[in-house]
Amino acid sequence: MIRFDGAAKRHPDGTLAVEGLDLTVPAGRTTVLVGPSGCGKTTILRMVNRMVEPTAGRVLLDGTDVAQLDAAKLRRGIGYVIQQAGLFPHRRVIDNVATVPYLLGWDRKRARTRASELLELVGLPPETARRYPFQLSGGQQQRVGVARALAADPPLLLMDEPFSAVDPVVRSGLQDELLRLQAELNKTVLFVTHDIEEAVRLGDQIVVLREHGRIAQVADPATLLAAPADEQVAAFLGRDRGLRGLALRPAEGIVLLAANTPLDGWTLAVDQEGRPTGWQRSAETIRQVAVFRPGLDTLRTALDSAVLSPARVAVAVDHAGRVIGLAPRAAVLDALDAAGPDTAAGITATGVADGR
Amino acid sequence: MGAAGIGGGTVNLYSWLSQFFGDPDRRHGPDSIVHRVGEHLLFSGEALGWALLLAVPLGLLLGYTGKAAGLVTALSGAARALPTLGLVTLAVLLAGVGDTAVLVPLVALAAPVLLVAACEGVRSTDPDLRDAARGIGLTHRQVLWQVCIPWALPALLAGLRTAAVQVIATATVASYVGLGGLGSYVVGGLATRDFAQTIGGALLVVLLAVATQLLFALLIRYALPAGLRRARD
Ligand SMILES: Nc1ncnc2c1ncn2[C@@H]1O[C@H](COP(=O)(O)OP(=O)(O)OP(=O)(O)O)[C@@H](O)[C@H]1O
Ligand SMILES: [Mg+2]
């Protein structure tokens, strides 16, 4: 657990980066800091591993003021991932990942064995181990950065916009990977981003910051989207926060029609295994079929599937991609109602009118 | 006779060289090529060694702390302006003081080049890389050794190459004070108007400098870790 206790940072040139932060980062969960550029996210993150020393207040790590710990030792116990990956260009990937174990005095063999495990854990093929960083794509370098941070199995990870330098598809893949890892490892993660979508996706707790590191709101993603503390936060979350909220609800309890039901003359063609191959109506064929997996995907995916289908139904498939039924748009919306009225209630309760 | 006259220069050069290389003294004894090259390299090596010892640690440290960067750059400018002829004169003047005094101008020639190479090499380390290294728990000393010095290696080797070639070329002056080396041929030849010796000696100095140049080119090409060699190609 990390506790910021009035932690402030004023730079020698007089710039007030963080005014005085009181915040608790719970153990074993992901806390995301979001906020406009220059609001102090990086500064706050770096106070934890003493890359920035607070000019007032304290940062407590499991009850101990980090200022009392040896900086290098402290840092070896904290995973640190930055936007530019920061890999050593003259070392092979495997030795990059083993950097902290080497610093901790592990013997070479044990450190490398551990490093190979981690490369596998972050989804890199074994042949990557012998490459040099410049031989990897940006996304792969970022995975190596994550593997390096995890190598000595630290209980705490600090991640400063780790995925913002890669394209959206790679970013989404890296986010999935982090979610999977986190489900397995349960680290305390403090994650900085200015991408609200990423925050909602990864965070158990989201801290919305204003300039000088002032806290605007601390909440779980669903509450944040449903009930922003004020108009400024609502504006920061963006216009389609209602739709984003759908991404937090599982597509469950949707009443399905039989897969072979013709709708508006459209029928769903399937292959021998029962996987959808296209929509057909007399001579017309549409080959792309958007699907959702009940229980696995979110209501957002289900709604997306329904919107994209010419027959105006969402196509439900099982984990192997076989069609299990069709869900008309109305059925998807019914499931949304059944999921509870917290969106409307939240907004009424806090009295926020966001003009829609 | 006309044709031979036109080709006279070539014939002379050829005959001078064959006279020089054909002399049995070039093969055995204190005036043999192997012996003179050995002297030359020993003397150059000694000067380079001192320069390395004096300039590189200081350069690395200044580069890491980022202090006195302006001073180092100014020094490099001043060093480039140092005239080799002046150094030779200085060497001759110093000859009265003692043999090793000739080392001084040679060290003075090499040290600034190495100082600047070390300083700039370390200083050019990617700041994000340095920051990440600190952030994952390297101490300053470890950052210098494990990150900045490897980063500076190509620049350091390039500096060493320049310094080595300059020293080898200039070490010809060593013979003025009787330290031998390839300069003995040049100086001796000039003194006795034996042009075969002078030209042969000069050719050997050029060959040695070119060989050094090549050696470093190979070193830079093959001895650096792949990540350093190609990352910045
Ligand atoms: N070394 C420094 N000297 C002076 N001011 C600084 C220094 N480092 C950061 N600042 C200032 O402190 C404030 C907070 O910076 P910080 O890097 O924490 O912001 P951030 O929220 O991470 O921004 P971004 O989203 O752009 O990364 C900014 O106004 C910045 O200009
Ligand atoms: Mg930042």
Contact A116, A93 (CB under 8 A): no
Q: How confident is the model over B1-54, as pLDDT tens digits?
A: 444 444 455 668 888 888 888 888 888 778 888 888 888 888 899 999 999 999
- Residue % of chain B over a pLDDT of 90: 35
- Report how far residue A225's alpha carbon sits from residue A234's, in angstroms, rounded to the nearest whole number: 8
Q: Which fold has domain A2-238?
A: Rossmann fold (3.40.50)
Per-residue pLDDT at B173 exceeds 80: no
* Alpha carbons within 13 A on the beta-carbon side of A265: 5
| β-bridge mates for residue A327, sequence order | A314
Cβ–Cβ contact A80 with B under 8 A: yes
* CATH number of the domain within which B102 lies: 1.10.3720.10
- Pseudo-torsion of CA A209, A213, A218, A223, nearest 10°? 0
- Report how far residue B180's alpha carbon sits from residue B31's, in angstroms, rounded to the nearest whole number: 9
Kindly give the distance from the C-alpha atom of residue A17 to the centroid of ligand 1, in angstroms, as a whole number. 6
Q: Give pLDDT, residue A208.
A: 96
Query: Which of A73, A82, A134 lies at the smallest CB-CB distance from B132?
Result: A82
- CB count within 10 Å of CB B31 equals 16
Place of tokens 């980022």: B66
Q: What is the pTM of this model?
A: 0.82
The arithmetic mean of pLDDT across residues A46-63, rounded, is 97
**Residue predicted with more confidence, A257 or B83:** A257
**Residue predicted with more confidence, B94 or B30:** B30
- At A149, which amino acid appears? A
Per-residue pLDDT at B80 exceeds 70: no
When divided into structural domains, chain B yields a total of 1
Structural domain boundaries in chain A: 2-238, 267-350
Tokens at residue A67, please?
């200022």
Listed residue (A191, A168, A336) closest to A251, CA to CA: A336
* Alpha carbons within 13 A on the beta-carbon side of A146: 27
- Report how far residue A278's alpha carbon sits from residue B158's, in angstroms, rounded to the nearest whole number: 63
- Report how far residue A343's alpha carbon sits from residue A227's, in angstroms, rounded to the nearest whole number: 7
Q: How confident is the model over A206-251, as pLDDT tens digits?
A: 999 999 999 999 999 999 998 999 998 999 888 788 888 888 888 8
The arithmetic mean of pLDDT across residues B70-93, rounded, is 71
- Report how far residue A223's alpha carbon sits from residue A231's, in angstroms, rounded to the nearest whole number: 15
**Residue predicted with more confidence, B193 or A77:** A77
Give B88's pLDDT tier (boundaries 50, 70, 90). low
Give A51's pLDDT tier (boundaries 50, 70, 90). very high
* Alpha carbons within 13 A on the beta-carbon side of A237: 28
Q: Which residues contact B217 (CB under 8 A, 6 or more apart)?
A: B161
Q: Which fold has domain A267-350?
A: CBS-domain (3.10.580)
- Report how far residue A182's alpha carbon sits from residue A177's, in angstroms, rounded to the nearest whole number: 8
Give B119's pLDDT tier (boundaries 50, 70, 90). very high
Per-residue pLDDT at A315 exceeds 60: yes
The arithmetic mean of pLDDT across residues A48-74, rounded, is 97
- Report how far residue B157's alpha carbon sits from residue B46's, in angstroms, rounded to the nearest whole number: 17
Cβ–Cβ contact A51 with B under 8 A: yes
Q: Does A210 contact ligand 1 (Cβ within 6 A)? A: no
- Report how far residue A127's alpha carbon sits from residue A115's, in angstroms, rounded to the nearest whole number: 13
The answer to the question of residue B20 being in a domain is no
Q: Does A194 contact ligand 1 (Cβ within 6 A)? A: yes
Provide the 3-class DSSP secondary structure of residue A291.
strand
Provide the 3-class DSSP secondary structure of residue A326.
strand
Q: Does A217 contact ligand 1 (Cβ within 6 A)? A: no
Atom of ligand 1 nearest to the CA of A39: 21
Q: Give pLDDT, residue A347.
A: 37
Least confident range from A80-84, A249-253, A325-329: namely A249-253
Q: Which residues contact B52 (CB under 8 A, 6 or more apart)?
A: B110, B114, B160
Least confident range from A167-181, A261-275, A332-346, B197-211: namely A332-346
Q: Which domain range does residue B197 map to?
A: 31-232
Pairing of strands A291-292, A313-317: parallel
Place of tokens 């021998």: A272
The answer to the question of residue B18 being in a domain is no
Atom of ligand 1 nearest to the CA of A44: 18
Q: How far is CA A259 from CA A262, A270, A275, A281, A326, in A?
A: 9, 9, 11, 15, 6
- Report how far residue A109's alpha carbon sits from residue A104's, in angstroms, rounded to the nearest whole number: 14
Contact A341, A311 (CB under 8 A): no
Q: Does A15 contact ligand 1 (Cβ within 6 A)? A: yes
Listed residue (A80, A267, A351, A43) closest to B134, CA to CA: A80
Per-residue pLDDT at A261 exceeds 80: yes
Contacts of A100 in chain B (CB under 8 A): 136-137
Least confident range from A29-38, A169-178, B119-128, B178-187: namely B178-187
Per-residue pLDDT at B177 exceeds 90: no
Cβ–Cβ contact A320 with B under 8 A: no
CB contact under 8 A, B139 and A132: no
CB contact under 8 A, B133 and A86: yes
Query: Which of A76, A84, A90 lies at the smallest CB-CB distance from B128?
Result: A84
Q: How confident is the model over A135-190, as pLDDT tens digits?
A: 999 999 999 999 999 999 999 999 999 998 888 888 888 898 899 989 999 999 99
| Chain A residue closest in CA terms to B149 | A90
CB contact under 8 A, A75 and B133: no
- At B48, which amino acid appears? L
Contacts of A133 in chain B (CB under 8 A): 227, 231
Mean pLDDT of chain B: 83
Long-range contacts at A283-291 (CB < 8 A, ≥ 24 apart) = A286/A310, A289/A315, A290/A314, A290/A315, A291/A315, A291/A316, A291/A317, A291/A321, A291/A323
Contact A42, A194 (CB under 8 A): no
Query: Positive or negative, the Cα torsion across B188, B193, B199, B200?
Result: negative
Kindly give the distance from the C-alpha atom of residue A209 to the centroid of ligand 2, in angstroms, as a whole number. 12
Run of H or E including A315: strand A313-317
